[in-house]
Amino acid sequence: KNQVEQSPQSLIILEGKNCTLQCNYTVSPFSNLRWYKQDTGRGPVSLTIMTFSENTKSNGRYTATLDADTKQSSLHITASQLSDSASYICVVKDRGSTLGRLYFGRGTQLTVWP
């Protein structure tokens, strides 16, 4: 069964600290993996996308990694800011359908305290 599991479910850190969010997936055949940021009451916004051959992708203070062999990804946030408080969703796309089916994780709720 195709699934996307994220950990931790929630995380509280102090402003300026770093953190790492985890994503494990069983989606096969794999196409790509995205990390989305969803602010409260808003729609998700894409942060990074990685394909099978990529193992690191950065977007400012966000760095995503992918290990396609172990089917694991992480999102590292450096020097956190209050505006980083949001839900971070791991989304995996399969390669086995015309639509390109997306499998969503439940997200990690990150809270950054001053």
Partner 1 sequence: EADIYQTPRYLVIGTGKKITLECSQTMGHDKMYWYQQDPGMELHLIHYSYGVNSTEKGDLSSESTVSRIRTEHFPLTLESARPSHTSQYLCASSEFGGQGDTQYFGPGTRLTVL
- Residue 80 has a CB neighbour count (10 Å cut-off) of 20
Backbone angles phi, psi at 104, to 5 degrees: -100, 140
CA angle 88, 29, 2 (to 5 degrees): 55
How far is it, in rounded angstroms, from Cα 78 to Cα 73? 16
- Residue 114 has a CB neighbour count (10 Å cut-off) of 7
Stretch that binds partner 1, among 12-20, 37-45, 55-63, 69-77 (CB under 8 A): 37-45
| # of chain residues touching partner 1 (CB under 8 A) | 26
Binding flag, residue 37, partner 1 (CB under 8 A): no
Q: What are residue 38's DSSP bridge partners?
A: 87
Site string for partner 1, 48-87 (x = CB under 8 A): -x-x------------------------------------
Binding flag, residue 105, partner 1 (CB under 8 A): yes
Binding flag, residue 22, partner 1 (CB under 8 A): no
Min. distance of Cβ 6 from partner 1 in angstroms? 9
How far is it, in rounded angstroms, from Cα 95 to Cα 21? 25
Provide the binding-site residues for partner 1, judged by CB under 8 A.
Answer: 4, 9, 31-32, 34, 41-46, 49, 51, 89, 93, 95, 98-102, 104-107, 109
